[in-house]
Structure 1
Amino acid sequence: MKRLFFPLVFFFFVAISCGTIQVPNAVNYQGLSVSGKQKQDTALLNLIQPYSVEINSTMNKVIGFTPATLSKRLPESGLGNFMADCMKDMAARKFEVAVDIAFMNSGGIRTTLNKGNITVGNIYELMPFDNLLVIQELKGSVLEALFQHVAADGGWPISKGSSFKIQNKKAVDIVVNGKPLDRNATYIVANSDYVAQGGSDAAMLKPFPFQNKGYLIRDALISYVSEITASGKPLDPKIENRVTSNNNE
């Protein structure tokens, strides 16, 4: 049972020459219980019914299939690998640039993909936020600081071709796009606009500008799954030891 709170607003009135201004004097809240026992509002149901049919038609559209349930786990998961790979590949296409690595903050993964058909609605549940896919040009020393943050947080999904180990909450043996991290090199990193702006405590990224084309990560995931399906394959990402930990963090 849910409880909804509706404000009961009391006003006092101030009269001036051109009319009466209503100004809130106090706000009180009354808790109302909402459950399946309430009588349905037929008029309201009729009003939203056409929109409900259209939304359900879109959300129930099957775009793929997974032979196994994909769940989030640390330090690495097939689900996270799929999302990070999608971000790297789709960012490279959208921005027409070679992307070295993509990160998906683990807190941004909101649910699992259950075994069986994958619908558009499932992707909305997986990525309910309107986070945008962006790229940043970062010096290796800044990228290293991000890796250290990720290691302290237990590990985030990273894209194929990159890897690192977590030892005592520190990132070691960092590989980016097939090569050891060079602190003096410059890298193109795909991320969400949320993380690029310092979200998930990634404060080291905030000073650096990012490119944004208004492309939602959710839309990228839908397109990516659809393309895998069109190629005749299921969505079946594997754990590849991209992120390993000496104490199973």
Structure 2
Amino acid sequence: MMKNKFFNLLVVVLFLGLFSCEEEYVKPVKISYQQQAIDSTLAKNTDMEEFIKPYREKIDAEMKTVLSYSPKSMFKSDSPYNTAIGNMMADAVLEEANPLFKQRHNLAIDAVLLNYGGIRSGISEGEITVRTAYDIMPFENKVVVVELPYEAAQEMIKYLMKKRTAHPISGMQIQLNHNYSFKEAFINNEAIHPEDNKNKSFYIATSDYLLQGGDEMDFFTNNTEVFHLDYKLRNLFIDYFKKKDEINPTQDNRFTVGN
């Protein structure tokens, strides 16, 4: 009986407490605002400018740091099937990510596939700086290595055959006939044929964006295993540039039509 009385008293106290809180809560009756155009008429905040200035100058100096040199300009529109800049990017991933993959997992990358749309700028003749790396790869995308079973690897080759776009590839070779029909394809020097059925898999380095099926690369979702290297592509390119006195890639025969 005493327990019931105590419970009832507790309920009354809580109710009164909630009621009193609700009474004390001040509800807004009107909200006013004024639209401020952001244009040349907007005065600078000198205090904020002075606060930001040393950080801006430090970032600008770092972005101008020279890493390497390019004897020629290169752009992703230079060729329809493979380009110097795309080949360089894919080769850089293979060169920089493979030792890390071996060290962590005692495995080797067979090939690299990035996406044409991910190349956001070209490289002009002259000095290659930190800003160059940010220009070609402004995103926060990271390198992942995907274990693709043979069937998914076949789908990857079919995708590249269908798109016939200069996606950056490395460790891979695709040759099509004049009518764009399949001629031959290789991944890490192993022939891949659309009709084969093999119990084999390949380790393909790509970006975490493409891993999710970006650019319609759905075959990456049909993986056996994914290895995250926690290595941003932009940082990878910076590391690659630092090691090279000169960046001078060429268009080659890694993807050809009618040869």
Q: TM-score, with normalisation over the residues of structure 1? A: 0.81
Deviation string, structure 1 residues 126-182 (Cα, Å, up to 9, x no partner): 0001111110111122011112222322231111x4210345566541111122126
Calculate percent identity across the aligned residue pairs.
26
Are 2:188 and 1:181 equivalent residues in the alignment?
no
Matches within 5 A, 1:103-122: 103-122=113-132
Q: Which runs of 5+ in 2 are unaligned?
A: 1-20
Are 2:93 and 1:91 equivalent residues in the alignment?
no
**Which structure's CA Rg is the greater one?**
2
**1:131 corresponds to which of 116, 120, 141:** 141
In the alignment, what sits opposite 1:78?
84
In structure 1, how many angstroms separate the alpha carbons of the residues matched to 2:192 and 2:24?
A: 70
Corresponding residue SS for 1:32: coil
Higher strand residue share: 1
Higher RCO (Cα < 8 Å, 6 or more apart): 2
In the alignment, what sits opposite 2:11?
none
Aligned CA-pair RMSD: 2.7
Are 2:10 and 1:19 equivalent residues in the alignment?
no
AA paired with 1:116? Answer: G
Are 2:59 and 1:32 equivalent residues in the alignment?
no
AA paired with 1:128? Answer: P
In structure 2, how many angstroms separate the alpha carbons of the residues matched to 1:93 and 1:60?
A: 28
Distance 1:140 1:104, change over 3 A: same
In the alignment, what sits opposite 1:221?
237
Deviation string, structure 1 residues 39-87 (Cα, Å, up to 9, x no partner): 4332221121011011111111000000000110321100000000111
**C-alpha contact (below 8 Å) 1:147/1:171 kept by paired residues:** no
Distance 1:171 1:59, change over 3 A: farther
Distance 1:44 1:127, change over 3 A: same
**C-alpha contact (below 8 Å) 2:63/2:130 kept by paired residues:** yes
Deviation string, structure 1 residues 207-239 (Cα, Å, up to 9, x no partner): 42411121101111111111112xxxx100011
Matched residue count: 225
**C-alpha contact (below 8 Å) 2:140/2:233 kept by paired residues:** yes
Higher helix residue share: 2
**C-alpha contact (below 8 Å) 1:148/1:170 kept by paired residues:** no
Corresponding residue SS for 2:26: strand
**How far is 1:31 from its partner?**
8.2
In structure 2, how many angstroms separate the alpha carbons of the residues matched to 1:169 and 1:138?
A: 25
Distance 1:188 1:43, change over 3 A: same
**1:67 corresponds to which of 41, 46, 71:** 71
AA paired with 1:173? Answer: E
**C-alpha contact (below 8 Å) 1:164/1:173 kept by paired residues:** yes
**2:212 corresponds to which of 175, 197, 203:** 197
In structure 2, how many angstroms separate the alpha carbons of the residues matched to 1:62 and 1:23?
A: 58
**C-alpha contact (below 8 Å) 1:91/1:134 kept by paired residues:** no
